[in-house]
């Protein structure tokens, strides 16, 4: 009999379980009836996989940060008080009237534009270390923009300034070409009194992200120019040589004809290409000696070619030198345009530093001439 009594006293399950979840507070404790308010639920005995309902509707983005903290986003609900419930392992905890829904529309971020200072530079484009002006268009029915909180963040780079208009500076190093996300979070805070007389501090929070296309244009355009001139020097198939030219540029057809004519009249025996000097003015034009051509970027590549003259079909001035080696030095001026977020070559122009010289096959004579090749 004694054993039965002791067992009954020690086995009571009418009290709360020590592992049951508990809720002590919700912050903020009010937000828009449209839902979407990020909240932090504080309490105890929270475990991974916990579920949250507010006013009987499931919250979204539920994450158990620790045994005492859960973050979630409120669902839509009619105006008024709503119970907050946390469910873990079949056990639940409830905070009566833990959240107050208010008819208060959240801010609207209708646009974000990031733009560099160059004349024809496209929006959401950046070169390494470049500073972009970033402007957000934000409206709110109840709260003036000056009373909203603006928080800017990015995958890389740095922001300066505050409010809806700031400056973002691209990183010094980045794997290019690539994409960097710029995010704006706008917070609206408000105070009020619930239907039961309770005071609340409400919060609406919205976010929007844009992508900036990150480039290292000087390197990208310079590499394209050197690859083109290397293929030209190796006398590869003419269509391969101009493979990185934009079909929208007239310069592609002109260069294709030049390559074809060069391969008929000359066999290139050796060459040297210097380091390109690349400029990215984004004016739409590149200035070359005695001419201006289309281009958003301009690469100036020092070059030297030694070619065996085998014909004079397209270059009649070299007819007296057939069978000799022609030597030319100068700078090839290559322009490029940005198409679909990709650099493409647009035109190539040879600026010869001095008249060509010709060397006999046995290298015993050098014949200076007045021949200059310009296009």
Residue at token pair 């290298």: 363
pLDDT of residue 190: 86
Average pLDDT over residues 207-215: 98
| Alpha helix segments (H runs only) across the chain | 2-10, 217-233, 238-241, 250-265
pLDDT tens digits for range 297-321? 999 999 999 999 999 999 999 999 9
Residue at token pair 């290559």: 334
Average pLDDT over residues 344-353: 94
Per the prediction, the chain carries an average pLDDT of 91
pLDDT of residue 362: 64
For 234, counting Cβ atoms within 10 Å of its Cβ (0-12 exposed, 13-18 middle, 19+ buried), the class is exposed
pLDDT band at 263 (very low <50, low <70, confident <90, very high): very high
Burial 105-115 (b: 16+ CB within 10 A, else e): bbbebeebebe
Q: How far apart are CA 351 and CA 373, in angstroms?
A: 8
- The CA–CA distances, whole Å, from 183 to 134, 136, 186 equal 11, 11, 10
Q: How far apart are CA 232 and CA 221, in angstroms?
A: 17
Q: How far apart are CA 110 and CA 368, in angstroms?
A: 68
Q: Per-residue pLDDT for 105 more than 80?
A: yes
- Please give the DSSP secondary-structure letter assigned to residue 245: B
Residue at token pair 């208009």: 165
| Residue 106 DSSP SS3 | coil
For the domain spanning 108-215, the CATH number is 2.60.40
Class of domain 19-102: mainly beta
pTM (global) more than 0.85: no
Please state whether beta strands 69-73 and 60-66 pair in parallel, antiparallel, or not at all (unpaired): antiparallel
User: Tokens representing 331?
Assistant: 């700078």
For 101, counting Cβ atoms within 10 Å of its Cβ (0-12 exposed, 13-18 middle, 19+ buried), the class is buried
Average pLDDT over residues 57-81: 95
Q: What are phi and psi of 12, to 5 degrees?
A: -65, 135
Q: Per-residue pLDDT for 364 more than 70?
A: no
- Please state the domain extents for the chain: 19-102, 108-215, 218-368
pLDDT of residue 372: 65
Intrachain domains 19-102 and 218-368 with the same fold? no
| Percent of the chain predicted with pLDDT > 70 | 90
The answer to whether the beta carbons of residues 70 and 95 sit under 8 Å apart is: no
pLDDT of residue 29: 92
pLDDT tens digits for range 124-181? 999 999 999 999 999 998 889 899 999 999 999 999 999 999 999 999 999 999 999 9
Third-level CATH fold of 218-368? Nuclear Transport Factor 2; Chain: A, (3.10.450)
Q: How far apart are CA 137 and CA 308, in angstroms?
A: 64
Start-to-end CA span in the chain (Å)? 114
User: Tokens representing 317?
Assistant: 């001035």
Choice between 80 and 163, residue whose per-residue pLDDT is larger: 163
| Percent of the chain predicted with pLDDT > 90 | 79
pLDDT of residue 15: 45
pLDDT tens digits for range 1-44? 233 333 333 333 334 567 899 999 999 999 999 899 999 999 99
pLDDT of residue 197: 67
pLDDT of residue 271: 97
């Amino acid at each position: 009999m004694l054993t039965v009594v002791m067992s009954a006293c020690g086995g009571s399950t009418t009290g709360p379980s020590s592992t049951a979840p508990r809720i002590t507070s919700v912050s903020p404790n009010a937000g828009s009836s449209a839902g979407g308010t990020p909240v932090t639920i504080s309490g105890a005995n929270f475990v991974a996989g916990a579920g949250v309902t507010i006013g009987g509707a499931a919250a979204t983005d539920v994450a158990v940060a620790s045994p005492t903290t859960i973050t979630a986003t409120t669902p839509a609900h009619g105006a008024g008080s709503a119970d907050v419930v946390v469910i873990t392992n079949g056990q639940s905890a409830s905070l009566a009237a833990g959240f107050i829904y208010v008819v208060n529309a959240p801010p609207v971020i209708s646009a974000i534009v990031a733009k560099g200072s160059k004349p024809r530079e496209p929006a959401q484009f950046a070169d390494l270390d470049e500073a972009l002006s970033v402007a957000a268009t934000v409206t709110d029915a109840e709260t003036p923009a000056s009373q909203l909180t603006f928080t800017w963040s990015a995958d890389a780079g740095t922001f300066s300034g505050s409010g809806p208009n700031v400056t973002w500076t691209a990183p010094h190093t980045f794997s290019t070409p690539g994409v960097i996300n710029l995010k704006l979070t706008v917070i609206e805070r408000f105070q009020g009194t619930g239907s039961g007389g309770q005071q609340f501090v409400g919060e609406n929070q919205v976010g929007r992200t844009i992508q900036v296309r990150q480039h290292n244009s000087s390197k990208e355009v310079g590499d394209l120019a050197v690859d083109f001139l290397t293929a030209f020097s190796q006398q590869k198939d003419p269509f391969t040589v101009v493979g990185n030219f934009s079909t929208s540029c007239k310069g592609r057809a002109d260069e294709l004809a030049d390559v074809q004519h060069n391969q008929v009249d000359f066999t290139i025996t050796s060459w040297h290409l210097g380091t390109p000097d690349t400029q990215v003015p984004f004016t739409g034009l590149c200035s070359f000696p005695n001419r201006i051509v289309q281009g958003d970027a301009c690469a100036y590549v020092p070059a030297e070619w030694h070619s065996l003259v085998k014909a004079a079909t397209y270059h009649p001035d070299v007819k007296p030198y057939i069978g000799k080696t022609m030597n030319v030095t100068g700078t090839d001026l290559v322009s490029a345009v940005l198409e679909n977020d990709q650099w493409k070559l647009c035109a190539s122009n040879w600026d010869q530093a001095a008249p060509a010289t010709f060397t006999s096959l046995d290298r015993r004579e050098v014949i200076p001439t007045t021949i200059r090749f310009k296009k």
